[in-house]
Structure 1
Amino acid sequence: MLFMLNDCNLTDKGCSALAAVLGSDTNLKELNMNNNNLQDSGVKLICTGLKNIKCKLEILRLNDCNLTDKSCSDLAAVLGSDTNLKELNMNNNNLQDSGVKLICTGLKNIKCKLEILRLSNCSVTEEGYKALASALRSNPSHLIELDLTGNDPGESGVKQLNDLLQDPDCQLKSLRFLSPAAEEACQYVNRVMGENPFLQRKLNLSEHKLRDTQVNQIAALLQDKHCRLNRLTLNRCRITEKQSLILTSALKSNPSHLRELNLSRNKLGDSGVKHLCAVLKDSHCKLERLR
């Protein structure tokens, strides 16, 4: 049974009745409460129902519910109990590292059955990523899918995730922390170069024929907050005037750390150079060397 209460202008006052339902002999397996003003007090009430031995709920969606790290303490207690919860969505809440660390205590508990955890846009930084990596290396963890898009782990956080995926004890099959286009760019670079661009300062794709799709992906990569590339070489890549516009647009974005760009021996034409000149005038562009 699926119960959808998203976008219903609910507050914590409605959660007491829901907690009673969850603790009864209902067959409810999925509860969607996205985009309601539940706040921490509302989640605390819901958790009393989730901890009831009669509760059969497997999927709980709490996206955009004005939650903070206080909610995570109650949810961690649920994860560490005999709950049937297998999927927890908490996207777009201000959980921060302190909240993620609390969730991790639940993930490490041998009773935890959680398989899917979504924490995109939850103000998570390096410390939160470190805690998650530690939790997911623990033997009890059943987590197979983790969504962390829209957070900012910094360079060390990205390395923690990369190392985690190499760990034989980690059960994770799907890890998302990039925009879809940036993720595709990462996969492309891994395929043709055998390296992860998010762990590199330099990237040389010279003499690889880049189609519009790849150029769009590389542009997304440069715009992604996780990317720390400061030197990009695209010599003899058959880049056209149209593609140069895509790249130059990316260089105007605030996250771009690029300091050196090599576009030698491409088909930029006069208009391509004109686009480059325009971006060099832009205050957001940090480019210091252009070939």
Structure 2
Amino acid sequence: MIPGDCIPVSDLLTPVFGARLRNSRLTSASGPRLALAIRNSWSLTHLDLNDNSLKDSGLLDIYQCLKDPNCRIESLKLESNDLTEGCCMELGSALAENQTVKELSLNFNPLGDSGLELLQRTMRKRSCKLHTLRLNSTNLTECSGPVLSDLLENNPTLRNIDLSSNELKDEGARLVFQALEKSDSQLEAFWLQDVSVTQESCEAFASFLRANKTLTSLHLKENRLGDEGLRRLSCGLRDSRCKLQVLRLDTTSLSDQGVKDLIQVLVGKQSISELTLPYNSITDSSIDALVHLVKTSPQLREIRLRSNKFTPGGIKRLKTLARAGLTMSVGD
């Protein structure tokens, strides 16, 4: 592969600009050349720079492009670029002036709590138009709860947010849920995988679900919710205003009781189309309830149950539920 710093500017102007620059070994020295390419192609709408090593300094010239009124970039992907809090003030300032960026991905960069605070402080000077914000694995902790609350309250256009693989814990998550409820959020997809939440934050989450009419996809994998947490969460799922379609609860410490309580809520709820429950402690005791769910939910398109504690006979029975339009994943 040719090092990114040696790629001719003319090659950067090809129609597949975004696709070609993912994992292209770009470094901080590539910044000025990238900026020149952008300025010579203002029609560019998607810029994918994932999996490079631009670092904080490599983005400085690109931020100036974002501030230019000629900029048309709608999707900006900066995942895994060794970015730190040092980039956040300039990035926030650029976003505050830019009115076209709708998708921003900063996954897998160690921004930390202080970086997020700098980003939000500068962004809020002017209402951004972000629809999607991805902050997966950015070293956030519960200390970011107030900052995330402020971000959510002041960016009403947000439709999708990914906070997965951060240490938000119950206190940070509770503040996020309260902010979403207070802001009359229009959120549609919410990723909270592996954020160290437990049953303690589920009541606040349920309150948000009762108030929300737009959320359709919820990812809670790898959190120790337990049966009690799911029972509390179900109070929100039960509300007629809740229109959830996708619910992912892999590895959430659930047993038969929690699953039965959940199914009791979901039966007859015509919105659920995908339910995932792998890596829990569900046994044959839940099969009758699962059979009832599948038979009374024609809109259900996918259900995942692998890596639980079903017997071979139970797995065989569940497999008989397979039907046209339904993907059933059972067993190891």
Q: State the TM-score, normalizing by the size of structure 1.
A: 0.65
**Superposed, which structure 2 residues align to 1:74-223 within 5 Å?**
74-138=90-154, 141-178=156-193, 180=219, 182=221, 189=230, 193-194=234-235, 205=257, 208=260, 216=278, 218=280
With 28-37 and 44-53 compared, the bigger mean Cα shift is at 44-53
Task: Provide the aligned length of Structure 1 versus Structure 2.
Answer: 229
- Aligned to 2:91, the other structure's residue is in SS state helix
Using a 3 Å threshold, how does the CA distance of structure 1 residues 194 and 169 change in structure 2: closer, same or farther? Answer: closer
The structure showing larger relative contact order (alpha-carbon pairs under 8 Å, at least 6 residues apart) is: 1
Q: Provide the rounded CA distance (Å) in 1 between the counterparts of 2:233 and 2:160.
A: 26
- CA drift at 1:120: 0.1
Corresponding position of 1:250: none
- Aligned to 2:121, the other structure's residue is in SS state helix
Q: Provide the rounded CA distance (Å) in 1 between the counterparts of 2:284 and 2:26.
A: 58
Which amino acid in 2 is paired with 1:175? F
Which amino acid in 2 is paired with 1:173? E
Corresponding position of 1:53: 69
- CA drift at 1:206: 6.8
Task: Supply the RMSD in Å over aligned alpha carbons.
Answer: 4.0
- Aligned to 1:146, the other structure's residue is in SS state strand
Using a 3 Å threshold, how does the CA distance of structure 1 residues 158 and 87 change in structure 2: closer, same or farther? Answer: same
Corresponding position of 1:23: 39
Using a 3 Å threshold, how does the CA distance of structure 1 residues 134 and 204 change in structure 2: closer, same or farther? Answer: farther
With 5-14 and 128-137 compared, the bigger mean Cα shift is at 128-137
Q: Provide the rounded CA distance (Å) in 2 between the counterparts of 1:52 and 1:192.
A: 45
With 124-133 and 28-37 compared, the bigger mean Cα shift is at 124-133
- CA drift at 1:176: 1.1
- CA drift at 1:24: 4.3
Q: Which runs of 5+ in 1 are unaligned?
A: 220-233, 248-265, 268-291
- CA drift at 1:182: 2.2
With 112-121 and 79-88 compared, the bigger mean Cα shift is at 79-88
- CA drift at 1:3: 2.0
Q: Provide the rounded CA distance (Å) in 1 between the counterparts of 2:55 and 2:235.
A: 45
Q: Provide the rounded CA distance (Å) in 1 between the counterparts of 2:259 and 2:107.
A: 41
With 23-32 and 163-172 compared, the bigger mean Cα shift is at 163-172
Which amino acid in 1 is paired with 2:257? L
- Aligned to 1:65, the other structure's residue is in SS state coil
Using a 3 Å threshold, how does the CA distance of structure 1 residues 16 and 147 change in structure 2: closer, same or farther? Answer: same
- Aligned to 1:208, the other structure's residue is in SS state helix
**Superposed, which structure 2 residues align to 1:242-281 within 5 Å?**
246=308
Determine whether 1:41 maps to 2:46: no
Q: Provide the rounded CA distance (Å) in 1 between the counterparts of 2:258 and 2:106.
A: 42
- CA drift at 1:215: 5.8
- Aligned to 2:97, the other structure's residue is in SS state coil
Q: Which runs of 5+ in 2 are unaligned?
A: 1-14, 195-218, 238-248, 264-274, 288-304, 312-332
Using a 3 Å threshold, how does the CA distance of structure 1 residues 208 and 58 change in structure 2: closer, same or farther? Answer: closer
Determine whether 1:3 maps to 2:17: yes
Using a 3 Å threshold, how does the CA distance of structure 1 residues 23 and 109 change in structure 2: closer, same or farther? Answer: farther
- CA drift at 1:126: 1.1
Q: Provide the rounded CA distance (Å) in 1 between the counterparts of 2:259 and 2:171.
A: 31
Deviations 1:3-37 (A, max 9, x none): 22011111111110211233345200001111111
Using a 3 Å threshold, how does the CA distance of structure 1 residues 185 and 208 change in structure 2: closer, same or farther? Answer: farther
- CA drift at 1:75: 0.7
Q: Provide the rounded CA distance (Å) in 2 between the counterparts of 1:215 and 1:206.
A: 11
Corresponding position of 2:315: none
Q: Provide the rounded CA distance (Å) in 1 between the counterparts of 2:61 and 2:259.
A: 60
Q: 1:14 aligns with which of 23, 30, 45?
A: 30
Q: Provide the rounded CA distance (Å) in 1 between the counterparts of 2:259 and 2:118.
A: 48
- CA drift at 1:144: 1.7
